[in-house]
């Protein structure tokens, strides 16, 4: 039997933070599976993306896990498996939730899923950091069968997660490169495929960045109703000054050719090869 603490110690958590993380209880949620999957939408509405099980790879190349054709992975008899997959979201994405499809009919074993955040070392912090941010487990005892596990926050972390290329997760040193990934602990079971992991569903929204302290345009001041969105559009290179100078001209009408320019910049439109 592979306990949750044994699964993560020395694998995804530094020894310095493992005791505090191991002391946190991992929550599981009986949330219903999502009924629709929509990807690639624009705007600030909620989107959902799938992390298929084929993205999960073994941390130890000697570990064996089976069952990709069925949509689920399970550990082979007598051998626990530890898998991981990157959380690949664009910077500025707000991850609202992560739910993993699972199966468990073993009263003595349970599936464990963690969202892990890690950052590289820096001049002010010579030890790279890695810590569990959220987790879920099917647990032991009652057997849920097929279930959707929605990760619950651990420690001081809370959803939504603002994805960034650089950050400071542990508050030590300076901002460094940040990466996120899912860690899966698949236990060996007496009955084959009694505990399985399936795809993950990531629910996310796009985030409009806060405006800078100093306004970019003289005629759009901090506190104006549209200051934040105008600054965001300007910072993204979608819109520029109206007069080649310091003004935005917020009340000026927009021509069709200007609208075409805004859309092409925003959507990255281009001619096919």
* Domains present along the chain, CATH in parentheses: 4-206 (2.60.120), 208-273 (no CATH)
- Tell if the pTM clears 0.85, that is, is over it: no
91-100, 166-175, 187-196: the lowest-pLDDT one: 166-175
Higher pLDDT, 69 or 60: 60
User: Can you spell out the DSSP letters for 82-96?
Assistant: EEEEE----TTEEEE
231, two tokens: 């600054």
What pLDDT, in 10s, does the model give residues 231-245?
Answer: 999 998 999 999 888
- Res 13: pLDDT: 41
């Amino acid at each position: 039997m592979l306990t949750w603490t044994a699964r993560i110690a020395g694998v995804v958590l530094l020894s310095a933070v493992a005791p505090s993380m191991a002391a946190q209880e991992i929550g599981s949620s009986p949330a219903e599976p999502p009924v629709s999957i929509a990807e690639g939408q624009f705007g600030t509405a909620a989107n959902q993306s799938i992390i298929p099980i084929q993205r999960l790879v073994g941390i130890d190349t000697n570990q064996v896990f089976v069952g990709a054709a069925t949509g689920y992975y399970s550990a082979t008899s007598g051998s626990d498996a530890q898998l991981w997959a990157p959380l690949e979201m664009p910077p500025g994405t707000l991850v609202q939730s992560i739910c993993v499809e699972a199966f468990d009919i073993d009263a003595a074993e349970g599936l464990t899923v963690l969202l892990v955040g890690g950052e590289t070392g820096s001049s002010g912090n010579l030890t790279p950091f890695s810590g569990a941010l959220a987790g879920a487990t099917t647990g032991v005892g009652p057997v849920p069968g097929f279930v959707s596990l929605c990760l619950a926050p651990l420690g001081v972390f809370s959803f939504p997660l603002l994805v960034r290329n650089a950050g400071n997760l542990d508050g030590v040193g300076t901002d460094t490169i940040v990466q996120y990934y899912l860690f899966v602990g698949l236990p060996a079971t007496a009955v084959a495929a009694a505990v399985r992991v399936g795809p993950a569903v990531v629910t996310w929204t796009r985030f409009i960045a806060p405006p800078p302290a100093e306004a970019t345009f003289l005629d759009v001041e901090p506190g104006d109703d549209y200051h934040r969105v105008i600054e965001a559009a300007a910072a993204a290179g979608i819109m520029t000054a109206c007069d080649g100078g310091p003004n935005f001209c917020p009340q000026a009408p927009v021509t069709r050719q200007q609208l075409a320019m805004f859309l092409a910049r925003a959507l990255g439109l281009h001619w096919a090869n």
